[in-house]
Structure 1
Amino acid sequence: MKTISRLRYFLYLSILIVGCTTGKNALQKGNYDLSVFKAIDRLKNAPKNEEALYVLPIAYDLALKEHLRKIDEAKLSSDVLRWETVLGHYQKINQLSDEVNSSPVALGLIKNPSKYINEVEDSKIKAAEVRYALGLNQLNENNRASAKNAYYNFEKAQYFYPAYKDVSQKLDEAYWAAVLKIVVQPVRVNSSYYQLSNQYFQDQVAQFMKNYQQNRFVIFYSEQQANQQKVNPDQILRLNFEDFIVGQTYVKERVEKIRRDSVVIGETRTKAKIYGTVTATLSIFDKQVSSSGLLAMTIFDNQTQRIIRQQNIPGTYIWQDSWANYHGDERALTNQQLQMTRRREIAPPPPATLFVEFTKPIYAQLVNEISNFYNRY
């Protein structure tokens, strides 16, 4: 009985798989294009497959009629972008034709499959014409949001028909009307001693601004670039280290009384080991050198002369060192404790290095803050 059940299961599974690969299931579900592609694919591997031979002409005829019906409906609709719908259906018909032509068996079943080359080209021109007209109207509104929409429409027009009128020029015009230009002032620090360390942070910021690509409609300029290119900025980004402390030192001592039993402390005349208890006093020193600062980020609207964003970004870096010494019997110590006693106090990095270190977490937060803010534009 189990053998019969298994045979039925595999027979059912085989029928289901064949139905899927021949396109029969897709045909029954009304997915005529997929049915055509599956049937042809099956015939390429099994030219005499009866189910695929039966499915293909029916599926192709229904697919063609469906696309032509949707083309007629789109042409009669009031949708301003109707030519893109028309174009899409003509292209799908042509894909079906190419697929039929790729199989001698399919071509024997479907003589001269329909192909609409001229209609595709005509639809592309009409689709580009609509997008171009929309772009012109939006560009004439003379505001950044409309210029951005105009850019997208000109981009679509160029995609449909690259040589359409002066679309490349209009695309460039819309872009520069839509782009937000930001001048980033040099990072300021109120100490001449840390100017060199501040330059490292400045270089990091400059590199980020140069490589920024998250929003194509946002461009950052240094003051030098803005002056050279005569850029009138929309916004000004100011970065100042308002407050910082470098090299604040804390040393903490911990004293531990250590006792270990069953330690070999000698031997008898007969060489027998003598066990006893050993003790030691361990002093552990933990040293921390803390450096921290606060970066003030201000975004200034150059048109309204107002501050539109203000944020204080903190950063901290803690340098640590540990060492120890002991009094008593070293055998009371673990290997790790003994290693600590062999270490000596080391000098912390110089202040300039500590300044650089606390700016690293500030830089990470700054990048995130700027990215989130300008993603809205």
Structure 2
Amino acid sequence: MKTISRLRYFLYLSILFVGCTTGKNALQKGDYDAAVSKAVDRLKSSPQNKEALEVLPVAFDLAIKTHLRKIDEAKVSADALKWESILYRYQRINQLSDEVNACPSCLRLVPNPPKYVKEYEDSRYQAAEARYVLGERALRENNRQSAKAAYNHFVKAESLYPSLKGIKDKIEDAYWAAVLKVVVQPAIINSNTYRLSNDYFQQQITNYLATYRGNTFVRFYTEAEANKQKLRADQLVELHFDDFIVGQTYVKERVEKLRRDSVVIGEDRRGNKVYGSVTATYSIFEKQVSSSGLLNFAVVDLNTNKLLQNRKLAGTYVWVDSWASFKGDERALDKQQFALTRKREMMPPPPGNLFVEFTKPIYAQLVDNITSFYSRY
């Protein structure tokens, strides 16, 4: 009984598989395009497949009629983007015909499959023209959001019909009307000592902003660039260090009493090893040099003079060194402890380097804040 059940199960799967590969199931579900494609694929590998031979002419006829009906409906609709739907329908008809033309056995069932090349090209132009008109209409509204919409319309128009007259200029005009222009002031620090280190921090910011790709419609400028281009900026980013401390030093000492048993401490008269305990006083020194700062990050709307963002970004860097000494028997120390006693106290990095180090976490926060804030534009 189990054998019969398995045979029925595999027979069912075989019938289902054949139905899927011949397009019969797709035809029954009304997916005529898929039915055509599956039947064509089946007939390429098996030109005498009975089910595929039955499916193809019926599915192809229904697919073409459906697309043509949808085209007629779209032409009389009020949808401003109807030509894109019409273009898609002509494209699908042509693709289906190409599939049939590439299958010799299929051509006996569907001779001379129709191609709508001129209609397809006309639809491309009409679709691009419709986008162009929508873009011009949006651009005349004279605000950033409408300019963004106009830009997207013009880009789509170019993708539909690249040779459309004047389209590249329209894309350029819409883009710059949509762009938010932001001037970033250099980070201000009231210290000549750390001027070079701050210049390095500022250069990191400048490099990031020059390669910023977080939002297509936001462009950043240095003050020098803005002045050179006589730019009318929309926003100003202000950066300045409210406070910073470089090189605060702390030294800690920890003393441990060490003892190790079963250590050879000598020999008796007979030359036998004598075991005992050894001890040592172990002193561990740790020096921490802490540097920290607080950067104020503010964004001002230059049209309304409104403060849009104001945050304090904190950064800290702690340089650590450790060494040790001992009194007593060195055999009471393990290898790591003994190695630390061979180490000598190190000099901390120069103050300028410490300044750069504590600005690294500040830079990371600044990048995150800029990315998050300008993603909304």
Interval containing the TM-score (normalised by the shorter chain): over 0.9
Extract unaligned runs of 5+ from structure 1.
Answer: none
Alignment of 1:88-103 (within 5 A): 88-103=88-103
Is the deviation greater in 360-369 or in 19-28?
A: 19-28
Q: 2:78 corresponds to which residue?
A: 78
Tell me the amino acid that sits aligned with residue 117 of structure 2: I
How is 1:198-237 mapped onto 2 (pairs within 5 angstroms)? Answer: 198-237=198-237
Asked if 1:110 corresponds to 2:101, the answer is: no
Distance in 2 between the 1:271 and 1:54 partners?
106
Q: Which stretch has the larger CA shift, 240-249 or 259-268?
A: 259-268
- Identify the residue that residue 313 of structure 1 maps to in structure 2: 313
**Which secondary structure does the structure 2 equivalent of 1:303 belong to?**
coil
The aligned amino acid for 1:337 is Q
| CA positional deviation for 1:96 | 0.8
* Counterpart for residue 353 of structure 2: 353
Structure 2 length as normaliser, TM-score?
A: 0.95
Identify if the C-alpha distance between structure 1 residues 36 and 271 changes in structure 2 by more than 3 Å, giving closer, same or farther.
Answer: farther
How far apart in 2 are the matches of 1:366 and 1:350? 25
**1:152-194, CA deviations, whole angstroms, 9 ceiling, x for partnerless residues?**
1111222222222322211111111111111112221110110
Q: CA deviation at 1:5?
A: 4.1
| Matched position secondary structure for 2:242 | strand
Q: Deviations over 1:95-120 (max 9, x none)?
A: 11111111112222211112111111
Question: Residue 276 and residue 5 in structure 1: after superposition, are their counterparts in 2 closer, same or farther (change >3 A)?
Answer: farther
1:320 and 1:376 map into 2 onto residues whose CA distance is: 41
Change (3 A) 1:272 1:7: farther
Whether 2:57 is the aligned partner of 1:57: answer yes
Q: What is the aligned partner in structure 1 of residue 368 from structure 2?
A: 368
The answer on 1:172 being equivalent to 2:164 is: no
User: Shift of the alpha carbon at 1:74?
Assistant: 1.7
Deviation string for 1:106-160 (max 9, x for gaps)?
2222111121111112222222222111111111111111111111111122222
Distance 1:51 1:275, change over 3 A: farther
Q: CA deviation at 1:329?
A: 1.5
Q: Deviations over 1:68-91 (max 9, x none)?
A: 222222222222211111111111
Matched with 1:144 is: 144
Q: CA deviation at 1:356?
A: 0.3
Asked if the contact 1:190/1:242 (under 8 Å) is kept, the reply is no
Instruction: Name the CA distance, whole Å, in 2 between partners of 1:111 and 1:221.
Output: 63
Is 1:181 aligned to 2:181, yes or no?
yes
Partner amino acid, structure 2, of 1:230: K
Aligned AA for 1:119?
A: E
Q: CA deviation at 1:246?
A: 0.5
**In structure 1, C-alpha distance between the alignment counterparts of 2:136 and 2:364, rounded to whole Å:** 41
Map of 1:242 onto structure 2: 242
AA aligned to 2:272 is A
Name 2:302's counterpart in structure 1: 302
CA-based RMSD: 1.7
Paired residue for 1:156?
A: 156
User: Which whole-Å CA distance do the structure 2 matches of 1:342 and 1:263 have between them?
Assistant: 22
The separation in 1 between residues aligned to 2:263 and 2:136, in whole angstroms, is 93
Residue-by-residue CA offset, 1:302-325 (whole Å, 9 max, x unaligned): 222232221111111111111111
Counterparts of 1:267-282 in structure 2, within 5 Å, are: 267-282=267-282
Name the CA distance, whole Å, in 1 between partners of 2:200 and 2:106: 68
Q: Tell me the alpha carbon deviations over residues 228-261 of structure 1, each in whole angstroms, 9 at most, x when there is no partner.
A: 2221111111211121000111111111112222
SS of the counterpart of 1:70?
helix
Aligned twin of 1:29: 29
Which ranges of structure 2 fall in alignment gaps of 5 or more residues? none
Partner AA of 1:350 in structure 2: P
Deviations, residues 212-237 of structure 1 (Å, cap 9, x unaligned): 11211111111222222221111111
Post-superposition offset of 1:2? 4.5
SS of the aligned residue for 2:194 comes to helix
Classify 1:128/1:248 alpha carbon distance in 2 versus 1 (closer, same or farther; 3 Å): same
Q: Is the 1:296–1:312 contact (alpha carbons within 8 Å) kept by the matching residues of 2?
A: yes
1:12 counterpart residue number: 12
Aligned-residue offset at 1:54: 2.1
1:76, 1:63 → 2: CA distance?
A: 21
Tell me how far apart the structure 2 counterparts of residues 195 and 141 of structure 1 sit (CA, whole Å): 47
Percent of residue pairs bearing the same amino acid type? 63
Alpha-carbon offset, residue 18 of structure 1: 2.6
- Cα distance in structure 2, aligned partners of 1:262 and 1:255: 23
Cα distance in 2 between the residues matched to 1:18 and 1:257: 84
